[in-house]
A and B are shown apart, each in its own frame.
Chain A
């Protein structure tokens, strides 16, 4: 591996996830996060070289929804910019590439979008291929249920185990001020909730939620001045897979596995289990178990701590849930995770995903020390 630039996450701000922010449009929700992230770093907008954002027109129900975000991102005068029609974790990936290319030293990465403006199950049906899959009415809950069935059939996992995992995440969410679900509950209670789509119960799935997030990246030389404890990016990789649900083994995530291997190799780490904290962008307990297997993690172990924030099971704002994982990893390493902080965390993995059944995955390895000298 050639030597790369040391780049760190130096700021992260997130609007608490809510079912519906009835009084603010997406850009109003975002503005406060941009301001807060810059304030954390002690800089003004002119200190940021590049901006990237992730959002989806279809969540807004209109074309060019992202254009309005230019204003609140501080794009005056004009700024070098790229908008990705993706979860904002991939916008962070691109911003990291930009810094590697040497064009920029600092980058602002935003994720936004109001899931509550529409019916996400109907909207996300439109991600599927229009000829064979969308036409039969599949939605993310039903495709996730197909995946959960495939996992349970292969692994022997039981309904009870899914309930127990969901209950652990709910307990973690109670300690995270930005989580949407903050009431702890028991596996017994969750196992009594009705099927959303069998084998997934309503209690195992996140409710519709919305937020806005802003994360700041900076290269060595600037990062130290913008943050007392930067979270250095030691490795990152991303992979997409075929969408066709019958064309891949839904009980496995080949993309997450490969991205993890490559990110760990870049980071000079042998195993994912060598980190202290992992934040997984899993929107069902089965997805989380599939990811743990793909990444070589013990889902039931105490170290590394998995989703101490509660993860997407306690708040899943579409198009930014992945970037929040990266932000949470930063909070852990920077000592800013407050009530859900993992003591002594020095290394972390953050995972972002988008698409049905974990179609596309990005894996970040972070640490409290620089990777390259």
Chain B
């Protein structure tokens, strides 16, 4: 058994993201991303050996297991297909599940697709379940995460301008990404003066609700050597999840995130991520999480994440450009958001990120998280094997 079987990203496709893509059905939205990914990889549906579909809760569109009705639009008829759901991390874990297909040795070219059409329903209330024996105090994901942001601020003495700074930078980056949902620039004052939705998270520090999809074609080493564009080699990938109610679980810097990052760095032979990774696409649905994840991912020591942002190290052209695409703060089709992070990381090392290309990016991290900060999925991609 060859356990070192390689896989690579052959093609990346994404839709135009918007708050409401009224011009397409769910199938039409998904197909827009799939067609672009296949075109990018120089392949057709018949070349695909298996399909992996991911999205966040089915309640967001009101269709149970929608991949079943999408099988035709996905070109999956009489092919193997699996449907992944790992909360917000799902787009990333879907891509990683496609990598597993290839690394099993049984598949040469696998299509990974993730989407959300949030305009079909109301995501905030779909994410606010009224559960037996639990107080219904959470209003949307922001309501869940705000206490952990407050805990981070209290622990690290993070000053109040860090969230707004992060949001402003994200919009500046998103302005260069032709697919992004929110591309209008914002000033620090714009963000500071926007209403507080969930203390301390302001409206301007919050991700949008988007309609959008992303698709990746993952191929074997053999196929990757014959692909039209330079592929992005997947150096390593991992997905970890941790229990909800374990005593001592820290949701500010979760152990699952640290374990997943360690597994990915070890797999890629990375000893110092701050020095060895050129750019990172990390899942930041609320601006403060950028500082939090910089620490959880081992880029910065505890309490140093916000200082790196304060110094501007995350900006384009600086030491570690974070979310050159604008990230989740500019575009959030929930189920697709994780795959967009992994796909954007791939585009960077392929050198095809367009106006938001990081000069000379050779090694990039793609990251997503979900649930109560308990699902993590990441990969490191590189321009070389």
Contact = CB atoms under 8 A, between A and B. Distances in A.
A360 B68 contact: yes
A240 B244 contact: no
B129 A63 contact: yes
Contacts of A102: 1-5, 103
B220 to A, nearest CB: 12
Given A102-B3, A103-B100, A82 B259 contact: no
A63 B81 contact: no
Given A62-B129, A242-B77, A84 B64 contact: no
A266 B2 CA distance: 18
B255 interface: yes
B143 interface: no
Contacts of B48: none
Contact of A71 (B101, B126, B245): B245
B250 to A, nearest CB: 12
A76 B246 contact: yes
B358 interface: no
B86 interface: yes
B243 A70 contact: yes
Which of A76, A101, A134 has the most CB atoms of chain B within a 10 A radius of its CB?
Answer: A101
B62 interface: yes
Interface in B81-99: 81-87, 93, 97
B31 to A, nearest CB: 14
B104 A101 contact: yes
Given A64-B371, A237-B80, A244 B72 contact: yes
Contacts of B372: 67
A85 interface: yes
Chain B binding surface SS class:
loop
A85 B240 contact: no
B65 A78 contact: no
A75 B242 contact: yes
A138 to B, nearest CB: 12
Given A57-B85, A63-B57, A75-B241, A101 B65 contact: no
A77 interface: yes
A331 B125 CA distance: 44
Given A85-B84, A101-B103, A131-B25, A78 B72 contact: no
Contacts of A77: 242, 255-256, 259
Nearest to B372: A67
Which of B58, B243, B254 has the most CB atoms of chain A within a 10 A radius of its CB?
Answer: B243
Contacts of A356: 68
A36 interface: no
Contact of B239 (A63, A71, A81): A81
A56 interface: yes
B375 interface: yes
Interface string A227-253: 000000000011111111001000000
A2 interface: yes
Interface in B241-278: 241-246, 249, 254-256, 259-260, 263
Given A64-B87, A81-B375, A102-B1, A240 B65 contact: no
A258 B80 CA distance: 11
Given A75-B243, A76-B242, A79-B240, A63 B100 contact: no
A84 B68 CA distance: 13
A129 interface: yes
Interface string B32-75: 00000000000000000000000011111111110011011000
A148 B48 CA distance: 33
B10 interface: no
A93 B104 CA distance: 12
B243 A243 contact: no
B290 to A, nearest CB: 22
A85 B85 contact: yes
B255 A238 contact: no
B126 A56 contact: no
A372 B78 CA distance: 27
A4 interface: yes
A83 interface: yes
B106 interface: yes
B15 interface: no
Interface string B348-384: 0000000000000000000000011011100000000
B238 interface: yes
A100 B82 contact: no
B146 interface: no
A98 B52 CA distance: 14
Interface of A: 2-5, 25, 56-58, 62-64, 66-68, 70-71, 74-86, 90, 93-94, 97-98, 100-103, 123-124, 126-131, 133-134, 237-244, 247, 254-255, 258, 354-356, 359-360
Interface of B: 1-5, 25-26, 56-65, 68-69, 71-72, 76-87, 93, 97, 100-101, 103-106, 126-127, 129, 131-132, 238-246, 249, 254-256, 259-260, 263, 371-372, 374-376
24 contacts: A2-B105, A4-B1, A56-B58, A57-B58, A63-B126, A63-B129, A70-B241, A78-B241, A78-B254, A78-B259, A78-B374, A83-B85, A83-B86, A85-B85, A86-B65, A94-B97, A98-B104, A101-B100, A101-B105, A102-B3, A127-B64, A130-B69, A239-B78, A243-B68
Given A56-B58, A101-B105, A240-B71, 6 more contacts: A67-B244, A80-B238, A81-B375, A94-B82, A97-B101, A127-B63
